[in-house]
């Protein structure tokens, strides 16, 4: 049995050839055009020696080239290693080296960090950059210009000598002139710009597309393959270099550039290159050479996703073709109902498993259209949804909260929006109600999973009865259970660790057998999350196993405290962590950001440049700054706000659960998907409160 995700994409591309696959900054790219681009990149990568089993690192945001390169790599039977675009060169070098990546595929805006990283990895053959050398060198210091850098536009232009393109090559520049003026206000609390320091403001807003997209390809031109040529130029294409074909007179025929290329790249012939004679629209028959994707096994690794590395070095989860295929199929069939004519918004980064599976793969296998937005800006996102008539939006809770609050200001027509899919973190009850109020006609679904599970393991679907607070039931082909510490299974509503096995679970961590063995018990993958299951099979997430706080022998689940804080009228974001205490074992620490208003006490208080700390003793309320530790001069209403917050917690939580400190921040530290980074909050506490 063979399974290659690239084949599923090409099947969809042939079926939906003339339908829009991607809309980016006003540019509409059809499935046929996207498939042609994938074929061009496939040839280019093959020329550079990429073949089955090779690993290729990708450092790209949500731009069409990500999707093109993704399926081109898989087409060759190689492995995609997508990396966060915000990684430093040192962090990136580790992932390139550990994954044994042969090349780094980089967006121009990420070029410098990629070149610096590649320099640290001896086995890396070079950096492949979208765009042209002329444009790229403008942003590259002189010292790096002699490194092994390959420019996609320049390489493709050379490729034309061997391969007569089926349609005129058009230099496409879809960039800032097509961007509406949104005048979006800054959102310091959720800055999702996927670019390293130094990127120009206009390139942050909408990165350019260069000449990698062949505009104007028609159905026939795709069906007969991107290497469409006349019988005279394409016959005997597989004649080995050094031998000769004979013409009708018996004389030796000249070996064409196409033949030379085929002979120098036998990989195509070995992996299923075929002759096809397909009737043209006019009734004539043309012969073409159409290389099929490499026949991969279902258990072959397709993607290596590196975990966030909360402790130690990041681990590379090996996801197979079948892992990703089965997860995408469930999403399209049971959750989103993706089909031709449906539009989904790409605001989740594709280098993350959530965006890659639930948006890119599930949508493109279904004939749906992806509307790409490289940077999350709530105002722009909402206007894009309204203008493009987007039907499905997958997002993390932080994004949904900001969209709800911006919608309250804009009150745009959201009648087109059918579904929100929330994942990546828990959507607390307070924010959930806020989203429901602003988008009353939009169905809100939740899913749960990890990078290691491709990612979805449980989900709510439109067919299920509403169950607020639940992360749904186990998905098809997956078993989910609650496991006790002694590895027995828990009873309904008993809290334990969520464990998973099934089609979606990774094959293991790349080059880390010890971590792989530690991640499984009797074939069950240990999620590290605590939860419970009710009598009807609905699962509920309680907290991370390692995040549980034990104070004076009592278990405290941070999510329970966060739920209370989120329900406070002026709370914008909340996070709760535990810190060591010499007597009680641990103390409960709460971090908040406050909603800002046009007038009133909160506006001035929330805009302070330094975070405030409220320390609650048994009989007194003290205020102090984190750094330096002095009492700030603040308005009376700020003190009243803190006192009110303390009383609020006491009225809703047992005394041992109430935060010992409440810290007000201007913004929360977040990862690329908007998830609050508690490890950074703990680091802040250690730096400012402990020696």
* pLDDT score of 559: 83
In the predicted model, is pLDDT for residue 689 greater than 50?
Answer: yes
Question: With bands split at pLDDT 50, 70 and 90, how would you rate the model's confidence at 648?
Answer: confident
Question: With bands split at pLDDT 50, 70 and 90, how would you rate the model's confidence at 552?
Answer: low
Over residues 298-308, the mean pLDDT reads 92
Quick count: other Cβ atoms within 10 Å of Cβ 376? Answer: 26
Model pTM score:
0.75
Nearest to 400 by CA among 372, 374, 419, 373: 419
What is the C-alpha to C-alpha distance for residues 226 and 13, in angstroms, rounded to an integer?
13
Least confident of 371-375, 473-477, 630-634: 630-634
In the predicted model, is pLDDT for residue 340 greater than 60?
Answer: yes
Query: Strand 55-59 vs strand 101-106: parallel, antiparallel, or unpaired?
Result: parallel
Question: With bands split at pLDDT 50, 70 and 90, how would you rate the model's confidence at 148?
Answer: confident
What is the C-alpha to C-alpha distance for residues 181 and 598, in angstroms, rounded to an integer?
24
Structure tokens at 253: 């025929």
284-to-48, 225, 236 alpha-carbon distances in Å? 36, 16, 20
CB 502 within 8 A of CB 478: yes
More confident residue, 662 or 253: 662
- Segments of 383-439 assigned E as strands: 392-395, 419-422
Question: With bands split at pLDDT 50, 70 and 90, how would you rate the model's confidence at 609?
Answer: very low
More confident residue, 186 or 469: 469
Question: With bands split at pLDDT 50, 70 and 90, how would you rate the model's confidence at 159?
Answer: low
Question: With bands split at pLDDT 50, 70 and 90, how would you rate the model's confidence at 167?
Answer: very low
Over residues 200-220, the mean pLDDT reads 52
Evaluate the omega torsion of the peptide bond into residue 628 and state whether it is cis, within 30 degrees of 0: yes
Least confident of 202-211, 432-441, 488-497: 202-211
Question: Of how many residues is the chain composed?
Answer: 691
Least confident of 29-43, 146-160, 315-329, 538-552: 146-160
- pLDDT tens string 92-142: 999 999 999 999 999 988 899 999 999 999 999 999 998 778 877 877 888
In the predicted model, is pLDDT for residue 248 greater than 50?
Answer: no
In the predicted model, is pLDDT for residue 39 greater than 80?
Answer: yes
- pLDDT tens string 457-511: 999 999 999 898 899 999 999 999 999 999 999 999 999 999 999 999 999 999 9
* pLDDT score of 517: 95
CB 490 within 8 A of CB 482: yes
Q: Indicate the class that CATH gives domain 557-689.
A: alpha beta
CB 60 within 8 A of CB 374: no
What is the C-alpha to C-alpha distance for residues 300 and 103, in angstroms, rounded to an integer?
20
Question: With bands split at pLDDT 50, 70 and 90, how would you rate the model's confidence at 53?
Answer: very high
More confident residue, 169 or 548: 548
What is the C-alpha to C-alpha distance for residues 33 and 73, in angstroms, rounded to an integer?
17
Q: Is the dihedral of CA 485, 491, 495, 497 positive or negative?
A: positive
* pLDDT score of 657: 84
* pLDDT score of 196: 63
326 CB contacts (<8 Å, ≥6 apart)?
454, 477, 503, 504
Query: Strand 419-422 vs strand 478-483: parallel, antiparallel, or unpaired?
Result: unpaired
Nearest to 86 by CA among 188, 206, 195, 198: 195
Q: String of b and e for 110-138 (b: at least 16 CB within 10 Å)?
A: bbbbbbbbbbebeebbebbbbbbbeebee
459 CB contacts (<8 Å, ≥6 apart)?
330, 334, 335, 445, 446, 447, 448, 471, 472, 473, 475
CB 112 within 8 A of CB 140: yes
**DSSP reduced 3-state for 148:** coil
In the predicted model, is pLDDT for residue 690 greater than 60?
Answer: no
What is the C-alpha to C-alpha distance for residues 410 and 439, in angstroms, rounded to an integer?
12
Q: What are phi and psi of 657, to 5 degrees?
A: -90, -15
586 CB contacts (<8 Å, ≥6 apart)?
549, 550, 551, 578, 579, 580
In the predicted model, is pLDDT for residue 443 greater than 50?
Answer: yes
- The H-assigned helical ranges of 102-248 are 111-119, 133-136, 152-159, 201-205, 219-223, 231-234
Question: With bands split at pLDDT 50, 70 and 90, how would you rate the model's confidence at 312?
Answer: low
Question: With bands split at pLDDT 50, 70 and 90, how would you rate the model's confidence at 635?
Answer: very low
Least confident of 60-69, 228-237, 325-334, 580-589: 228-237
Least confident of 199-203, 255-259, 417-421, 541-545: 255-259
145 CB contacts (<8 Å, ≥6 apart)?
137
CB 544 within 8 A of CB 528: yes
DSSP assignment string, 653-685: S-GGGS-SEEEE-SS--B-TTS-B-HHHHHHHH
Q: Write down the domain spans for the chain.
A: 227-246+253-291, 557-689
pLDDT mean across residues, the chain: 77
């Amino acid at each position: 049995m063979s399974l290659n995700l690239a084949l599923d994409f090409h099947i969809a591309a042939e079926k939906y050839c003339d339908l829009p696959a991607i809309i980016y900054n006003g540019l509409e790219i059809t499935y046929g055009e996207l498939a042609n681009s994938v074929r061009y990149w496939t040839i280019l990568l093959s020329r550079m020696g990429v073949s089955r089993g090779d690993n290729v690192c990708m450092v790209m945001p949500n731009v069409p080239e990500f999707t093109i390169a993704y399926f081109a790599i898989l087409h060759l039977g190689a492995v995609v290693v997508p990396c966060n675009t915000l990684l430093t060169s040192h962090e990136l070098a580790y992932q390139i080296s550990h994954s044994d990546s042969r090349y780094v595929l980089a967006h121009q805006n990420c070029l410098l960090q990629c070149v610096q990283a590649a320099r640290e990895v001896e086995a890396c053959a070079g950096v492949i950059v979208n765009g042209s050398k002329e444009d790229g060198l403008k942003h590259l210091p002189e010292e790096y210009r002699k490194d092994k850098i390959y420019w996609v536009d320049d390489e493709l232009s050379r490729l034309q000598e061997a391969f007569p393109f089926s349609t005129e090559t058009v230099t496409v520049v879809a960039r800032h002139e097509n961007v509406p003026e949104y005048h979006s206000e800054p959102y310091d609390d959720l800055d999702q710009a996927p670019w390293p320091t130094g990127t120009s403001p206009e390139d942050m807003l909408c990165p350019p597309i260069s000449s990698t997209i062949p505009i104007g390809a028609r159905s026939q031109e795709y069906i007969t393959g991107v290497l469409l040529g006349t019988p005279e130029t394409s016959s005997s294409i597989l004649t080995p270099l050094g031998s000769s074909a004979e013409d009708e007179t018996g004389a030796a025929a000249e070996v064409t550039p196409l033949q030379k290329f085929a002979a120098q790249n036998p990989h195509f012939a070995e992996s299923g290159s075929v002759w096809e004679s397909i009737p043209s629209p006019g009734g004539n028959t043309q012969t073409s050479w159409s290389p099929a994707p490499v026949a991969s096994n279902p258990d072959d690794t397709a993607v290596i996703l590196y975990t966030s590395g909360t402790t130690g070095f990041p681990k590379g989860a090996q996801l197979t073709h079948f892992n990703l295929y089965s997860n995408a199929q469930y999403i399209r069939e049971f959750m989103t109902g993706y089909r031709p004519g449906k539009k989904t918004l790409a605001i989740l980064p594709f280098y993350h498993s959530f965006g890659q599976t639930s948006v890119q793969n599930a949508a493109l296998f279904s004939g749906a259209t992806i509307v790409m937005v490289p940077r999350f800006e709530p105002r722009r996102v909402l206007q894009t949804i309204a203008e493009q008539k987007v039907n499905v939006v997958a997002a993390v809770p932080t994004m949904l909260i900001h969209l709800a609050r911006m919608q309250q200001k804009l009150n745009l027509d959201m009648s087109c929006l059918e579904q929100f899919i929330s994942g990546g973190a828990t959507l607390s009850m307070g924010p959930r109600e806020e989203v429901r109020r602003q988008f009353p006609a939009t169905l809100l679904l939740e899913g749960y999973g990890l990078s290691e599970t491709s990612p979805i393991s449980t989900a709510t679907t439109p067919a299920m009865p509403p169950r607020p607070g639940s992360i749904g039931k186990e998905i098809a082909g997956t078993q989910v259970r609650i496991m006790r510490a002694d590895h027995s299974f828990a009873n309904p509503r008993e809290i334990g660790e969520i464990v998973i096995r099934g089609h979606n679970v990774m094959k293991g961590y790349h080059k880390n057998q010890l971590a792989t063995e530690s991640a499984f018990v009797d074939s069950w993958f240990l999620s590290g999350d605590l939860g419970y299951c009710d009598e009807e099979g609905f699962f509920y997430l309680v907290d991370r196993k390692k995040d549980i706080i034990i104070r004076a022998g009592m278990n405290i689940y941070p999510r329970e405290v966060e739920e209370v804080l989120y329900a406070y009228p002026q709370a914008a974001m909340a996070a709760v962590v535990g810190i060591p205490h010499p007597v009680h074992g641990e103390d409960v620490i709460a971090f908040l950001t406050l909603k800002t208003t046009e007038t009133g006490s909160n506006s001035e208080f929330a805009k302070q440049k330094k975070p405030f700390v409220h320390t609650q003793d048994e009989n007194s309320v003290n205020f102090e700054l984190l750094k330096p530790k002095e009492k700030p001069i603040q308005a009376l209403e700020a003190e009243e706000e803190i006192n009110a917050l303390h009383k609020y917690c006491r009225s809703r939580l047992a005394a041992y659960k109430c935060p010992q400190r409440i810290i007000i921040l201007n913004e929360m530290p977040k990862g690329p998907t908007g998830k609050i980074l508690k490890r950074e909050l703990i680091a802040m506490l250690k730096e400012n409160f402990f020696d």
